[in-house]
């Protein structure tokens, strides 16, 4: 802000000592210091208020974007129904026969709890891959297992 060198400060101090006097100079310097600290405090408060206003503006923009997404989602879902998956219930033998007997070989069968429980998990791995994965898991567990310390009692 102000670019004073050390020589200029000495000249300024001598002029202040001569013009103000040695008795009033400490009180004047104390008053100037308090005024500078108040100005710095006010500048800091202003900067904090400005930053808070910027955060609130960013927050308002984010909230508006979220509400826009929600409204778009709700309008999309109103036309196509609910996104929640249908709940699997136990189908009676009559319902199963009805869906099977419709003549379409590619028609989907209703999903039942028994069918889900009996289904095998799909991993996408061949039996050889599964065996090598199990060996890798065993090696990892052996490497990470805590080892007994020699001097522990």
**Is the pTM for the entire model greater than 0.95?**
no
Tokens 């033998």 belong to 93
Per DSSP, the residues of 59-87 read HHHHHHHHHHHHHHHHHHHHHH---SPPP
Write down the pLDDT at residue 36: 94
What is the pLDDT at residue 89? 54
Euclidean distance between CA atoms 136 and 132, whole angstroms? 6
CA dihedral (10, 16, 17, 23) positive or negative: negative
Distance of CA 16 to the CA centre of its chain: 57
Residue 87's pLDDT is what? Answer: 55
Please identify which residue in the block is written with the tokens 């508006």.
64
- What pLDDT is attached to residue 60? 85
**Alpha-carbon gap, residue 30 to 72, rounded angstroms:** 63
- The per-residue pLDDT for 73 is 83
C-alpha gyration radius of the chain: 40
pLDDT tens per residue across all 153 residues of the chain: 567 788 998 998 899 889 988 899 999 999 999 999 999 999 999 999 999 988 888 888 888 888 888 888 888 777 655 555 555 555 555 565 555 555 444 456 666 767 666 766 665 656 666 666 777 777 777 666 666 666 655
Instruction: For residue 99, give every residue at least 6 positions away whose Cβ sits within 8 Å of its Cβ, in sequence order, or none.
Output: 107, 109, 110
């Amino acid at each position: 802000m102000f670019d004073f060198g050390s020589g200029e400060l000495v000249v300024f101090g001598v002029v202040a000592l001569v013009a103000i006097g040695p008795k009033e100079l400490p009180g004047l310097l104390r008053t100037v210091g308090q005024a500078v600290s108040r100005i710095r405090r006010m500048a800091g408060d202003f900067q904090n208020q400005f930053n808070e206003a910027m955060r609130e503006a960013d927050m308002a923009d984010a909230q508006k974007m979220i509400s826009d997404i929600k409204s778009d989602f709700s309008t999309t879902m109103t036309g196509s129904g609910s996104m929640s998956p249908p709940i699997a219930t136990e189908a009676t033998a009559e319902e199963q026969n009805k869906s099977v007997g419709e003549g379409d070989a590619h028609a989907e069968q209703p999903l039942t709890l028994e069918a889900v429980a009996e289904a095998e998990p799909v991993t996408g791995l061949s039996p050889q891959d599964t065996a090598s994965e199990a060996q890798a898991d065993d090696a990892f567990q052996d490497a990470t297992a805590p080892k007994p310390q020699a001097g522990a009692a």
